[in-house]
Structure 1
Amino acid sequence: MISSLSVAGLGLGVTEPAFAQSVRTLPDFTDLVEQVGPSVVNIRTLEKASVRETQNSPQDEEMQEFFRRFFGVPMPSPNSPRQQRPNKPQQPDEEQPRGVGSGFILSSDGFIMTNAHVVDGADQVVVTLPDKREYKARIVGADKRSDVAVVKIEASGLPSVKVGDVSRLKVGEWVMAIGSPFGLENTVTAGIVSAKQRDTGDYLPFIQTDVAINPGNSGGPLINMRGEVVGINSQIYSRSGGFMGISFAIPIDEAIRVSEQLRATGRVQRGRLGIQIDQVSKEVAESLGLSKAQGALVRGVEQGSPAEKAGLEAGDIILRFDGKAIEKSSDLPRIVGNTKPGTRSMLQILRRGTTRDMAVTVGEVEAEKPTKKAAAPAEKPSSSSLAAKVLGLSVSDLSDAQKKELKLRGGVRVDAVAELAARAGIQEGDVILALSNAETPTVQVFEGLVAKLDRSKPVSLLIRRGDWAQYTVIRPQR
């Protein structure tokens, strides 16, 4: 102790701890606000409402929550005090305030980007610039699937934003938002990027942040420390309608692709294959010999679709599309959706343990078709067969009429399921097409395959149910 004090007293060779040298100062956002603030606008929407519509149309609870969370303007309830006042009747076709959102200027000639849900259903859109000038805006186009919209005001010489590179965005990086939460214009909030590639929709991998986003922020920009827009603030996770520390932004590169199509044609064209897909689970990957859970499992192929014409079948696993790896099933709709309809693309698939390539001509997205309801499980199977003992299944051969109706060459029909098969999701009426990558055209073949199973490992079954097919995994009874 004395030695240490003496050294300290003499001031010899004492340095700061290493961690003290690495302390960084907090960012200063003032320059960014001055740089980007003039390009952020407030968006108000109006709609026409008649007395009968206002008084008699019941307000859906989900719509109430939607408006409360994102616009900051609650939808009036039929039982609200405002509508019970007989001395202030509303006039027919009177324009009523509908909501408040945000947006940002894309180009100096008046093109503005915002969320599709901000302008959806509006009869009139009013844009207010930071200098308080107001303009009536024209909706150029809105795409609900990506929640991106473009509106146009008749003005020139406007300050536009700089578009950033989302691929350079890092988790933990500081970002800032400007918008109109609760109608409070030009409000600035800041935080960090919490995660990238969040799956909350079919076509968009969202940016997750902890930037405070509240009703009215929708459509406003997410800005990096270089003053570039990297996203559009679009959604929040909330149980109360207010900010809870989790916000989502649309990546600006995806939004720009959509906006270019909206400006060119007023709509967005997306590619489609005409298949229903599912995630490849770890157990399915193991049973099929994949080194890891990857790709998109084809559960069903729509009749007359580009996929059927290309020869794609239920049970195939799509590993690559035009050379791009499909790491998870949600990657496929995005990649295909961004492909121009009519494009001839190459698929790499895994079919019954064998990898192969096939060409497909991409179609255009159309309305989804409803899937058929699955049948309920029936009574327990008899224990006379080996399949009943090992897998909990009682099966029978398909009749010629059933094969013709289902358009199948073969398969065995599930007549009854025991607890083991029921836990795997198999139901009476299902048709088993393959067991452990081997086709099961008849009961005799099926029973033979069951006899050869390694009962210490999970077993994959390819099942047809209605118009769709899927893989399931059973751990055999030893």
Structure 2
Amino acid sequence: MKSTLKKLLPFAVVGVISGATTVGAIQYLGHNSNNGDQSYFTTSAPNTSFAGMNTGAVGDDFVKAAKTTVPAVVTIKNYQSRTASRASEQDLFDFFFGDPFGGRGQGQQRQKQQQAPDNMPSGMGSGVIISPDGYIISNNHVVAGANKLEVVLSNKKSYIATLVGTDPNTDISLLKIEEKGLPYLNFANSDNIDVGQWVLAVGNPLGLNSTVTAGIVSAKGRGIGILGGQGKATNPIESFIQTDAAINPGNSGGALVNTNGELIGINSAIQSTTGYYQGYGFAVPSNLARKIVEDIKKFGIVQRGFLGVQSLDLSNDQLVTSYNKQFKTSLKVGSGIYITGFGDNSGAEDAGLKKGDIITKVDNYDITDFADLSMSIGSKRPGDKVQVTYSRNGKDGTATVTLRDQKGGTSTRTKADLSVTEKIGAEFDPLTERFKTEYGLNSGVVAKSVSEGSEMAKIGIVDNYIIIEVNGKPVNSQKDVEKILDKYQGNVQVKFVDDYGRIYTKGFKMP
């Protein structure tokens, strides 16, 4: 993960970075704690054609859109425990500057991080009210690691929010405040936006509440490798709307709207060598964001369908060159997704697709690169059927594929259907007996694949921490953890060792 982040470094910066450095930014800018910012995402460009517009018409459209949007955009303050804050700040430091210790000095570096006081948020970002009864959409990275979330409306009224659910794979989160009759934004069809169209970005950058910036849609379907690069998303979906509207820390989770004041995207990232606006911003398309929040509201979890293919993006010349060299092939750089293999219980393989086929279209969606495939499939659920157009030996064919989940199922699931490890957001590897002997441990498992925002992450556990006991019982395998927590309801106590060798016992309520 470190090498991936260093390659991305000076190009893509995720908004959460600005969140964890909010305290310093506030001091530098002279803002108080109510004017902070945790995101880094904004863009602007509306639903009107860029060409042929007179200046007066554009100005009038912007005023109307701004009046509609500003009251529905909120500030989100993220309060974290000291342990969780310390872990996230180390990740953010590495993301900005790289690990100067080559992965060996994490402990030393963490000791240098300053903690926000208990009454100060660890970071701040933006959110968008999407219903009059208090549902708010934002970014996953804006709310990650929080043990308390405060929402402040544009009229300065404050609420403590409930985190309904998150999805690191799309960087989307859903919150709820208890209120009625709130101003809100309607979702627009993001498939209908055009490059060159005007948009507005509304958020709370650099402590400047209710800021509106304008720009155009610079591109669609951008994949910048930032979600997977952070190591938090297991199956990232990146098909961003790119805009040139000014975006700075605090905009993350804010609204990207057309000139009608309709939501076409959730501002999520920038591309910059400095960490501040340099002309490139990225937003999660509204169609994808809406699907995610609908899943969370209806099922409690995101429903994700998969084709079940292993693939190569033919538009990426470096990947194609590397693949040709490794496998002695002569694939040509172009467009489409080349199938290199299939996963277990693959719906695509069952539908007749073969290794070597090139996917060119899903339903009516042209597939030129992996971002296109990610978007077209990622917006579907298990059990959905898609029409896949492919090229095989120069001839086109079609196949109807029934999408499946990662376990091969074709039905939607709720939280009650999740495994123990899915519910608490981590998996576990056993410790070797030699390790136990050397370090004087009688039991223990190593945490791995700890999901951002999960119950384990909230109590400060990250990958490679050692879990000694769960609810007072020693654990030596993932099966031990599952047995203790299977069908368990109530408070869970976890005894674990951090990377300094310090032992903690912390708890959470079983989901």
- TM (norm. structure 1) is 0.60
Separation in 1 of the partners of 2:187 and 2:151? 21
Q: 1:138 to 1:245 in 2, by over 3 A?
A: same
Distance (Å, rounded) in 2 between the aligned partners of 1:242 and 1:100: 16
Secondary structure at the residue paired with 1:268?
coil
- Is 1:49 the counterpart of 2:82? The answer is yes
Q: For the residues of structure 2 that align with 1:171 and 1:316, how far apart are their CA atoms? A: 31
Work out the CA distance in 2 between the residues paired with 1:282 and 1:128: 43
Match of 1:239 in 2: 273
Q: Shift of the alpha carbon at 1:137? A: 0.3
Pairing 1:284-299 to 2, within 5 Å after superposition: 293-299=334-340
Kindly tell me: are residues 275 and 23 of structure 1, through their superposed partners in 2, closer, same or farther at Cα, counting changes over 3 Å? Answer: closer
Corresponding residue for 1:125? 149
Would you say how many aligned residue pairs link Structure 1 and Structure 2? 324
Q: Give, in whole Å, the separation in 1 of the partners of 2:258 and 2:166.
A: 26
* Residue pair 1:181, 1:187 contacting (<8 A) in 2 also: yes
Q: What is the aligned-residue identity percentage?
A: 39
In the alignment, residue 170 of structure 1 is paired with which amino acid? D
Which has the larger displacement, 243-252 or 187-196?
A: 187-196
1:226 aligns with 2:256: no
Distance 2:181 2:271 in 1: 37
Whether 1:318 aligns to 2:359 is: yes
- Runs of 4 or more, structure 1, over 6 Å off, are none
* Residue identity opposite 1:260 in structure 2: E
Given residue 205 of structure 2, which amino acid in structure 1 is its aligned partner? Answer: P
1:361 aligned to 402, 422, 425, which one? 402
Q: CA deviation at 1:311?
A: 4.4
Structure 2 partner of 1:60? 90
Ranges in structure 1 where 5+ consecutive residues have no aligned partner: 1-20, 68-75, 84-88, 368-478
Q: Which has the higher helix share?
A: 2
Q: Residue 151 of structure 2: SS of its match in structure 1? A: strand
Pick from 165, 184, 198: which aligns with 1:141?
165
Tell me the CA shift for residue 105 of structure 1: 0.8
For 2:316 and 2:219, how far apart are their aligned partners in 1? 24
**Residues 85 and 122 of structure 2 are in contact (CA less than 8 Å); yes or no, is this contact kept in structure 1?**
no
Following superposition, the deviation at residue 144 of structure 1 comes to 0.9
Which residue does 2:489 correspond to in 1? none
- The question of 1:155 aligning with 2:179 is answered yes
Following TM superposition, by how much is the alpha carbon of 1:299 offset from its aligned partner in structure 2, in angstroms? Answer: 1.2
Rounded Cα–Cα distance in structure 2 between residues aligned with 1:22 and 1:47: 47
Question: Offset of 1:210 from its aligned partner?
Answer: 1.3
* SS of residue paired to 2:217: strand
CA contact (8 A) 1:297 1:329 kept: no
Cα deviation for residue 38 of structure 1 reads 1.2
1:27 matched to 2:59? The reply is yes
Compute the TM-score of the two structures, normalised by the length of structure 2: 0.56
CA RMSD of aligned residues (A): 3.5
Aligned equivalent of 1:188: 212
| Alignment CA distance shift 1:257-1:356 (3 Å) | same
Taking the aligned partners of 1:27 and 1:152, their CA distance within structure 2 comes to 34
1:65, distance to aligned residue in structure 2 (A)? 4.8
- Contact preservation (8 Å) 1:142, 1:150: yes
Residue pair 2:266, 2:286 contacting (<8 A) in 1 also: yes
What SS does structure 1 have at the residue aligned with 2:146?
coil
SS at match of 1:43: strand
**Pairwise CA distance, 1:102:** 0.4
Of Structure 1 and Structure 2, which has the larger fraction of its residues in strand? 1
Deviation by residue 1:324-349 (Cα, 9 ceiling, x = unmatched):
54343432232222332123444443
In structure 2, relative to structure 1, the CA distance for the partners of 1:314 and 1:179 (3 Å cut) is same
Structure 1 or 2, whichever has the larger Rg, is 1
Q: Which residue of 2 aligns with 1:407?
A: none
Deviation of the 1:279 alpha carbon: 2.5
Identify if the C-alpha distance between structure 1 residues 325 and 248 changes in structure 2 by more than 3 Å, giving closer, same or farther. closer
Instruction: Measure, in 1, the Cα distance between the counterparts of 2:121 and 2:316.
Output: 51
Q: Is contact 2:64–2:260 with CA below 8 Å preserved after alignment?
A: no
Deviates more, 1:325-334 or 1:296-305: 325-334
Classify 1:323/1:194 alpha carbon distance in 2 versus 1 (closer, same or farther; 3 Å).
Answer: closer
1:254-403 mapped onto 2 (5 Å cutoff) = 254-280=288-314, 293-322=334-363, 324-365=365-406
Q: SS of 2:131's equivalent?
A: coil
| Alpha-carbon shift at residue 245 of structure 1 (Å) | 1.0
